[in-house]
Amino acid sequence: MVEAFLKDYVGFDAVIGREVKAGYGYFAGVMDDGNTYAERLRAALKRAEENTTYHYPKPMIFHDGRLAFTPTPVAALAMYVYLPFAVVLSVVRIAIYTLLPRRMIGPAAALAGVRVRVTGAPPATANGENGASGGRLYACNHRTLLDPIAISSALGKPVFAVTYSLSPLSELLSPIPLLRLTRGRDEDRRRMSSLLGWGDVVGCPEGTTCREPYLLRFSRCSPSSPTR
């Protein structure tokens, strides 16, 4: 992570340091001795001499807003005290949205502390070409991972949600159908267009969650973001 940052955004030609051991796709948490620093330095200098093209650093854009609160000692203590209750509450809410019929989800979720406020009336069903029924694309500012579920609750019907990366457990527990994107603009556009033929689709063009009162820069990989 440090090497990629220094090379891509600061302009370093090489970064020499000990590597973290890895096995079976996971980092072991211990350092790998590997080659000596002198050997790695000679190899880096040789590559630098052979490289005749100048590397222009990429522009640095801060693209994150996931801190829910300032991590002060008091706030951290309150979080850990609340954590056991939060785990139980999350299990109850997951059960409500995955096991109960849709007509019962709203009242049951309200008893579990879920509040959904809808302003205005839900939009009418969109019509595609040749009068065929189609869906709408909803772009949310992605304050939490539950934004697509909140939109589904506000509309009173299931929607499709697209995501770049999600754990198999989250996919299993999700009360709405999910589609994993490839980060390839053309392929993702094709997949989302196909989904829109079946119903409404929720996308998060920022590419990450943001709890700040503003929008982040749209992800370049997002099919719903403007072409740059």
Cα-flanking dihedrals φ and ψ of residue 127, to 5°? -110, 130
Written as tens digits, the pLDDT of the chain (228 aa) is: 788 888 888 888 778 777 777 777 777 777 776 666 777 778 777 877 777 666 677 776 655 555 567 778 998 899 899 999 999 998 898 888 888 888 888 889 889 988 888 887 766 655 444 444 678 888 887 777 778 888 888 887 888 888 877 777 777 778 888 888 887 778 888 888 888 888 888 888 877 777 667 777 776 555 554 433
202 neighbors 147 (Cβ within 8 angstroms): yes
C-alpha to C-alpha distance for 121 and 178, rounded to whole angstroms: 25
Maximum pairwise Cα distance, the chain = 70
Q: How far apart are CA 18 and CA 27, in angstroms?
A: 13
pTM score, whole prediction:
0.57
| Residue 105 · residue 153 · CB < 8 Å | yes
By three-state DSSP, how is residue 177 classified?
coil
